[in-house]
Copies of this chain bind each other. A is one copy, B any other.
């Protein structure tokens, strides 16, 4: 029995079917691929491409999209720093559940602040010396993202119609400890398939694409 946060008298229930059993069923290891980067950097595109590639190999993944979650789990949150932190905390906790369920969970969120990303990393403990959380930093130049502006949000932010927009009047703190960084090469962006391939290679190297 324990006191946890605002709750008291909370027990922990362990079930006989555990993560290892689920991983055997799925022939993969649960983990989290967390894609971070500016709006317009290609996070959703990579998430979808990665999901498709994994599915073609018979692997079960699920995308937690920051925007989509704001329609549901996080619909009572806004964009204040506190709400951004709580938004990312909840996604981190849900991603952890999905990884525990045995899935390759693909989280796709701007997640601009170091401290919030560090908090998510702390949620997912190491597994045989390998972090079960893989940060993918889509490191695309602001100018490119703003030129793409797929949702027209940079235009609104520049016109002052959106406040606190990441990259314009709210900071994006680049990760210093990400597992994968994706950048332009000679001014050319990798294709969605190339980006997904880079992540799948990492997952394969780490052994996540088969059961323990």
Interface of A toward B, CB cutoff 8 Å: 1-2, 4-13, 15-17, 21-22, 25-26, 44, 47-48, 51-52, 55, 58, 60-65, 67-68, 70-79, 83, 86, 90, 93-94, 96-98, 100-103, 108, 123, 151, 153, 156, 162
> Do the beta carbons of B13 and A67 come within 8 Å of each other?
yes
Q: Known contacts being A64-B97, A98-B101, is A6 close to B151, with CB within 8 Å?
A: no
> Do the beta carbons of A102 and B60 come within 8 Å of each other?
yes
- If A13-B47, A73-B93 are given as contacts, then 19 extra A-B residue pairs at C-beta distance below 8 Å, sorted by A number, are A6-B78, A7-B70, A7-B74, A7-B78, A10-B67, A11-B67, A11-B151, A13-B108, A15-B52, A17-B51, A17-B61, A22-B55, A62-B97, A62-B100, A72-B96, A97-B98, A98-B98, A98-B101, A101-B103
Residues of B within 8 A of A76 (CB): 5-6, 86
> Do the beta carbons of A25 and B58 come within 8 Å of each other?
yes
